[in-house]
């Protein structure tokens, strides 16, 4: 991609590899899975509520900031990726776009 994934030095083209071929937001999914796992482990309704609040915040950030930014930066390439790879529930087979 001729750059880094850091916001101060974005890549020139969309780079999609590894787990990103299965789900668009793997780090957010992992954080939510960890919180929900802790909720199960500790039988904690408070952690379930925290996971719900965190999920709303993450989904809102992705929908209103990340996706529009990526669409502007990478155009049709990102739109094809977005339509092929789910945002939150991983697909079983990797996308080969």
Considering the entire predicted model, what is its pTM? 0.86
Q: Residue 5: what pLDDT?
A: 64
Residue 67 lies in a domain: yes
Within-domain flag for 77: yes
* Regions of the chain where pLDDT drops below 50: none
Structural domain count, the chain: 1
Q: What local confidence, expressed as pLDDT, does residue 41 receive? A: 98
Residues 6+ apart with CB under 8 A from 34: none
Residues 87 and 25 sit within 8 Å (Cβ to Cβ):
yes
Residue 86's Cα: distance from chain center in Å?
Answer: 9
> In 3D, which of 90, 82, 50 has the Cα closest to residue 66?
82
Say what the pLDDT of residue 35 is.
98
For residue 89, is it within any domain?
Answer: no
- In this structure, the number of other CB atoms found within 10 A of the CB of residue 25 comes to 21
Per the structure block, which two tokens stand in for 34? 């960890």
Q: Which range marks the domain in which residue 43 is found? A: 20-84
């Amino acid at each position: 991609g001729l750059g880094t994934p850091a916001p101060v030095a974005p890549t020139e083209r969309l780079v999609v590899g590894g787990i990103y071929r299965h789900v668009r937001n793997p780090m957010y999914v992992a954080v939510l899975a960890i919180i929900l796992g802790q909720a199960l482990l500790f039988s904690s309704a408070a952690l379930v509520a925290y996971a719900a609040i965190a999920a709303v915040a993450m989904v809102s950030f992705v929908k209103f900031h990340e996706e529009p930014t990526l669409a502007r930066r990478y155009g049709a390439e990102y739109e094809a990726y977005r339509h092929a790879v789910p945002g939150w529930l991983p697909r079983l087979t990797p996308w080969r776009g």
